[in-house]
Structure 1
Amino acid sequence: MLYAFIPGPRGLLRLEQETSISPGAELAKALWIDLYRPLDSQIAAVSALGIEVPTLADMEEIEISNRLYREEGADVMTVVLPGITPDGAQIAGPVSFILTEQRLVTVRHHAPRSFETFPERADRSAAGCKSSERIFLGLLEEIIARQADLLEAAGRALDKVSARVLSGKGLDSHQLQQALEEVGRQGELVGRVKLALLTLERALSFFDQTLAASAQGKELKPIAKSQMRDIGSLAVHGDFLSNRVQLSVDATLGMISLAQNATVRIVSVVAALFMPPTMIASVYGMNFRFMPELDWHWGYPMALGLMVASAVGTWAVFKWKNWL
Structure 2
Amino acid sequence: MAPGTMLFIGEQKQDKARIDLMHYSGTVLHELRDVTVNQCAEFAKSPGITWINVNGIHDIRQIEALGKVFNLHPMTLEDLVNTTQRPKVEEFPHYLFIVLKMMSFSDMPSRLVMEHVSLILGKGSVISFLEDEGDLFDTVRNRIRAATGRIRLLKADYLAYSLMDAVVDHYFLTVERIGDRIEDIDEQILADPRQEDIKEIHQLKRDILHLRKAVWPFREEVGVIAKSDSALLHPETRVFWRDLYDHTIQIIEMAETCRDILGGMHDTYLSSISNRMNEVMKMLTIISTIFIPLTFIVGVYGMNFEYMPELKWHYGYCLIWGVMLAISLGLFIYFKQKRWL
Task: Give, in whole Å, the separation in 1 of the partners of 2:28 and 2:213.
Answer: 29
Distance 1:196 1:125 in 2: 29
What is the SS of the residue equivalent to 1:139?
Answer: helix
Which amino acid is the alignment partner of residue 63 of structure 2? I
The residue identity in structure 1 corresponding to 2:290 is: L
Whole-angstrom CA distance in 2 between matches of 1:10 and 1:310: 95
In structure 2, the partner of 1:81 is 102
Question: In the alignment, is residue 101 of structure 1 matched against residue 126 of structure 2?
Answer: no
SS of 1:285's equivalent in the other structure is: coil
Give yes or no for contact 2:22–2:29 (8 Å, CA) kept in 1. Answer: yes
Q: 2:334 aligns with which of 308, 317, 320?
A: 317
> Is residue 172 of structure 2 the alignment partner of residue 148 of structure 1?
yes
Check 1:158–1:124 CA distance in 2 against 1; reply closer, same or farther (3 A cut). farther
Unpaired stretches in structure 2, ≥5 consecutive residues: 1-16, 44-49
How many equivalent pairs are there? 309
Q: Deviations over 1:7-48 (max 9, x none)?
A: 34799764239xxxx889622224333333533443344234
Q: Which amino acid aligns with 1:80?
A: K
For 1:120, the aligned partner's letter is N
The answer for the alignment partner of 1:266 in structure 2 is: 283
Shift of residue 120 of structure 1? 1.5
Calculate the aligned-residue CA RMSD, in Å. 4.2
Quick check: 1:81–1:193 contact (8 Å CA) kept in 2?
Answer: no
Q: Is the 8 A contact 1:98 1:104 kept in 2?
A: yes
Q: Aligned AA for 1:78?
A: V
User: Which secondary structure does the structure 1 equivalent of 2:33 belong to?
Assistant: helix
> Structure 2: which amino acid aligns with 1:203?
E
**CA deviations over 1:33-89 (Å, ceiling 9, x no partner):** 333353344334423423353368734145x7xx4434574433322331379x996
Trace 1:231-270 onto structure 2 (pairs within 5 A). Answer: 231-246=248-263, 258-270=275-287
Distance 1:234 1:12, change over 3 A: farther
Secondary structure at the counterpart of residue 119 of structure 2: strand
Query: Counterpart of 1:282?
Result: 299
Q: In structure 1, what is the Cα distance between the partners aligned to 2:23 and 2:261?
A: 43
Task: Return the alpha-carbon distance in structure 1 between the equivalents of residues 27 and 207 of structure 2.
Answer: 33
Deviation at residue 137 of structure 1 after TM alignment: 0.9
What residue number does 1:60 align with?
Answer: 84
Aligned to 2:46: none
User: Which stretch shifts more, 125-134 or 195-204?
Assistant: 125-134
Residue 213 of structure 1 aligns with an amino acid whose one-letter code is: S
Distance 1:215 1:94 in 2: 23
Q: Secondary structure at the match of 1:99?
A: strand
Q: Report how far residue 202 of structure 1 moved.
A: 1.8
Paired residues of 2:57 and 2:81 also in contact (CA < 8 A): no
Q: Is the 8 A contact 2:121 2:156 kept in 1?
A: yes
Which residue in the other structure is 1:214 paired with?
231
Deviations 1:169-192 (A, max 9, x none): x94456xx7887887777666555
1:33 to 53, 66, 79: 53
- Paired residue secondary structure (2:334): helix
Is this contact kept in 2: 1:83–1:111, CA < 8 A?
A: no
| Distance (whole Å) between structure 2 residues aligned to residue 132 and residue 12 of structure 1 | 15
Judge conservation of contact 2:52–2:127 (CA < 8 Å) in 1: yes
Match of 1:46 in 2: 66
Structure 1: any 5+ residue segments left out of the alignment? none
Offset of 1:261 from its aligned partner?
Answer: 4.1
Report the CA distance between 1:220 and its aligned residue.
2.5
Letter in 1 for 2:222: L
The 8 Å contact of residues 12 and 120 in structure 1, kept in 2 or not, is answered as no
1:308 pairs with 2:325: yes
TM-score (normalised: structure 1): 0.72
CA distance in 1, matches of 2:232, 2:37: 32
Relative to the length of structure 2, the TM-score reads 0.69
Name the % identity: 17
